[in-house]
A and B are shown apart, each in its own frame.
Chain A
Amino acid sequence: MADLTVSVNRRALLVSGACSAALGGLPVAIQARDFSLQDFIGLSAALTHKHVAEFNYAAAVEIYNVLLQRGLAPSLAALSVNLEGDEKLSGEIIKAWYTGICQTAEGPLVVVYSESLVWRVAPFLHVPSDCGGHTNYWSAPPAN
C-alpha cells in the first residue's frame, strides 16, 4: 500500500494546479506524452465529481503509474478531453478511487485502503480494522 505521507508543499502545488482543471474542465487537449500526474488527479476529480483535495496523493501516484505502465497514457489523455469517450476506462478509474483497488498487469492491487472513497461517501460506514466508536455504538442508528 502507498505511504500516506504527503509533502505539504508538493501537495499544495499539486492541488492548486489541478483545481482549475477539475473545476473548469480541461480546455486544452493534452498530448499523451504530456499527461502528468497533475492531469490525472484533475481527470479523477472530474470523473468522480470530487474536489482534487479529496484524493490521496500517494494513491494517485500508484494508480497513475499503473495505468501508464499498461500503456494507457494516450487513452487517459483522450478521456480527459472527452469524459464520456471511454466508459470502460472511466469506470476503472472511478472504481480504483472508490475501492482502493487498481488493476495492474499482474492482477488487482490494493493501492489505498483507509482513504478509499467508499468509506467516506456513505456517512455511516467506517474503515474495517479501525475502531468505529465507543463500545455498543452500533446499537443506535448513526447520528448522521
Chain B
Amino acid sequence: MPDSFQTDVVIVGSGVAGALIAHQLASAGVSVVVLEAGRAVDRYEALQTFRNSIVKVPECAYPRVPQAMFPVSDKLSDWYRQSGPDNFKSTYLKVVGGTTWHWLGTCLRLIPSDFRMKSLYDLGVDWPISYDELEPYYGRAESAIGVSGDSDEDLGSPRSTPYPMPPISQTYLDKSLSKALKAKGYQVRSTPQGRNSVPRDARTSCCGSSSCIPVCPVQAKYDATVHISKAVAAGALLLDQRHAVKLEVAAGGNIKAVRFRRWDNTEGVINAKTYVLACNAIENPRLLLASRTAALPAGVANRSDQVGRNLMDHPVQLSWGMTAEPVYPYRGPLSTSGIENLRDGAFRNKRGAFRIEIGNDGWSWPAGAPISTVEHLVDQGLRGKILDAAITDQTSRHVRLASLIEQDPEAENRVTLDEMEADFYGIPLPRITYRLSQYVNNGLEAAKVAHQEILELWKTSQITHAHTFNGAGHIMGTTRMGLDSMTSVVDRDLRSHDHRNMFIVGAGVFPTTGTANPTLTIAALSLRVADTIQKSMLG
C-alpha cells in the first residue's frame, strides 16, 4: 500500500457524519478518502461475540485491539483517565461505521427553543443557526437514514416533509402505559427511529430481535456502513485500520496533511484540499490537542482555548418497577415510545429538561434481567414448575423508564491529554474532567419525581430509582460552534475558525444539548456541511 495519498477531501472517521458526507461528495464526483482507525465488522461474528459475552454492555459485540482502543461501559478506566469529581460514563466505538453499530436508533429532532437557550432562558449560549435553517436538512437526514415515524405528530419540531416510512408500532407495554397516563399530562408517543418499518433501501424491516444494542442481526436498524458502502461504490476510498495521529498546518494556516499509522505501526500521510474531522467528541479534540507544535502549543484549531471544553452528555435517571398485570417486555425494539412533552418550559432556566424513554427491555439495563431474575428466584429456593411460573410472571411485568437530562455547557467539563499515559501510537490518553452541575442534578431530581408519579399511575410495585446517573452515550460539546472565533472552535458552517480548509462534524459542535438523542442532528448538520464543501469545490 502506498504511504501517501492525494485527494480532494479526506474524512477522518467513518461514523454517521463521515459516511453521509463521503457518500454525497463521492456521488458528486469529488475524490474522497475516508480514514478509519478500526476495522470492518462482520455482523455474524458480532452476534456470536454478543451471545458469548458475560456482561452484555453496548460494546460487548466489538472486541478491542490496542491499535483501535475505545472505552467500554463496564471498564471505563481502561481508556479514560478521569479527574472527576464525577465520572464521565459515555462511550464510543472505533470500527467502520462507528458507534451507529450499537445506537438505539432514536431519531428525534431538536425543538426550536433548543437553539435559543441563552435568549429564552439565559442559559448557556444560543446556536449560531436556527431550527428553521436546519429543518430542510432534518428532512434529508430522515430520508437518508430511513426513519419510521408518525408524520401527524411533530413532537414539538415543525416538519415540512413526512417521514419516509410509517411508524414502528408501539409495544403492548407502551399502550398499557398510555392508558394508565390518560388525562394526566404525560403524552406517550411513538418514537421516530432509524429502523425500517417496511423494507426500504435494500434493507429488510425490523424483526424485533431485542438486541438493537449492541447489534441488529438483519440491519433493519440503520448503521453508517450503509453510507460507507454507498460512498465506496461511488468512488470513495476507505482506508481502515489506520489511526489518524497528527494534523499538520501550513504556514498560511491551512491544514496541509493528516498523518496516520497503520495497525503494524507503519506511517502514512494524506494531503487534501479539504479536511473533515468526523471522529466523535472525544477523539476529535484529542487529535486536535495532540497535533500541538511549537508554533501551536495549544493544539490545532485551538486559538480560542475552547477545544475539549464544554463536554456534555444527557445524564440518565433510571427508574424501574413491576406492573400489576403482564405487559410483556423483552419483545421487539428496545424502545418504541417516549414522553416528549416535558422537553421545554420556563423551568429551563433552573433545571435541565428531559425526555422519558420508555424501555422495552425490562430490567436489562438497570439489573441485568432476565438472567438476574432467574438467579434471584433460584436463590429463594424456587424449583421446577414453580420456578418457571415465577420467571414468566415476574419478567412479564418488568418495566423501566430512562430520562435523558439536558446538560448545561461548562468550560471546566473538558477533555485534555493525559500527561503520563499514551496509546499504542504514543498519542496521550484522553483525560476527562467532569462534574454534574446543580442544573443537571435538579433535572435528575425532577425526573425521579416524574418517574415516581408515572410508575404509581401505572400501578407499579417495587419502584426503584437509580442512586446515580448513567451515561446516555451522547458525547457532545468539546468543539463547539459559534460566531465568535474567541469563544468557539468552528463557525456556523462547522468550518474551523483557525484553519479554513478544515471542518469538524459530529455532536462535538453542539453548543447546548437539548434533549433529543443527537444522531439525527449530527446527520442533518453533516449534510449541510456536505453541501458547503460540494458548492465550494464544484460551484
Q: Contact residues of A with B, CB < 8 Å?
A: 1, 47-49, 87, 91, 94-95, 98-99, 101, 107-110, 113-114, 118, 121-126, 128-142
Contacts and interface: CB of A to CB of B under 8 A. Distances in A.
B197 interface: yes
Contact of B209 (A108, A125, A129): A129
Interface string B168-179: 111110010000
Given A121-B391, A124-B328, A139 B175 contact: yes
Contacts of A133: 207-208
Interface in B9-63: 47-48, 50-54
A128 B209 contact: yes
Contacts of A139: 169-172, 175, 332
B383 interface: yes
A125 B395 contact: yes
Interface string B53-80: 1100000000000000000000000000
Nearest to B388: A121
B521 to A, nearest CB: 27
A126 B210 contact: yes
Contacts of A137: 208, 331-332
Contacts of A121: 387-388, 391-392
Contacts of B51: 1, 110, 113-114, 129
A87 B379 CA distance: 9
A136 B53 contact: no
A138 B332 contact: yes
Nearest to B334: A128
Contacts, number: 130
- A47, A107, A121, A122 — most chain B CB neighbours (10 Å): A122
A110 to B, nearest CB: 5
Contacts of A141: 172, 326, 328
B353 to A, nearest CB: 29
B337 to A, nearest CB: 11
B382 to A, nearest CB: 9
A1 B52 contact: yes
Given A98-B378, A118-B370, A131-B218, A109 B54 contact: yes
A1 B385 CA distance: 27
A100 to B, nearest CB: 8
Interface string B381-408: 1011101100110011000000000000
Contacts of B379: 91
A19 B360 CA distance: 40
B144 interface: no
Given A110-B53, A142-B331, A131 B215 contact: no
Contacts of A109: 54
A129 to B, nearest CB: 4
A21 to B, nearest CB: 17
Contacts of B360: 138
Given A122-B391, A122-B395, A131-B209, A99 B331 contact: no
Contacts of B197: 135-136
Nearest to B210: A128
A140 B396 contact: no
A135 to B, nearest CB: 4
